[in-house]
Structure 1
Amino acid sequence: LAIRLLGSFFLKEEAMGMGDIKLAAGIGAFLGWKIGLISFFISFLLGAVIVIILLLTHLKKRKDKIPFAPFLIGAALISLFLGDKLLYFYLSCIYC
C-alpha cells in the first residue's frame, strides 16, 4: 500500500492497482514475511528487466500501462523454490 501511495505521489498517476496490492498480500501470507519480501523485491527486478527490454525494442511506450501481476506471480514461483537459498545468500553477503 505504501508503494502505491508513494508511486502515485511522485508519478502523479496510479502506480500500482489494488489488485496488485491484494495479490502481493496473498503471496506474502502464503510465503511468510521473510520470503514474501524477497518475492516482492524479485518482482521489481523482473519487472524492471522486462520493461527495459520492451522499451528498448519499442514494443511498449513509456506511458503504456504494464500489468504488474505477472511479475508478482513469477517472483512468487522463484521464491517458492529458491526463497530460502536466496535469503541465506543475502544474509551471508550482509554479515560476512
Structure 2
Amino acid sequence: VHIYICICIYVHVYIYIHTYICVYIYIHTYIYVYVYMYMCIYIHTYMCVYIYTHIYVYVYMYMCVYIYTHIYMYMYICTCVCIYIHIYICVYIYTY
C-alpha cells in the first residue's frame, strides 16, 4: 500500500511537472511567435514607409528640378528672343 501510494504520488508529480513544462514551452513559443510576427509587421511597415518616403522625395526633387530647368530655359529663350527683336528693331530703325 505504501509503495502504491508512493508510485501514485510520483506519477502525479511527473504528470504535473510534464504538463507544466509543456504549458511553459507552449506559452513561450506562442510569445516568441507573436513577438516575431509583430517585429516582422513593424519592420515591413517601416521599410514600406521608408521606401515610399524616399520615392516621394525623389519624385518631388525631380519635379522641382524639371520645373526649374524648364523655367530657366523659357526665361533664357524669352530673353534671347527679346534681345534679338530689340536689336532687329534698332538695326531696322537705324538703317531707315
> Which structure has the highest helix share of the two?
2
- Fold-level match, TM-score > 0.5? no
Q: Which one has more relative contact order, counting CA pairs under 8 Å at least 6 apart?
A: 1
Normalising by structure 2, what TM-score?
A: 0.28
* Structure number with larger C-alpha Rg: 2
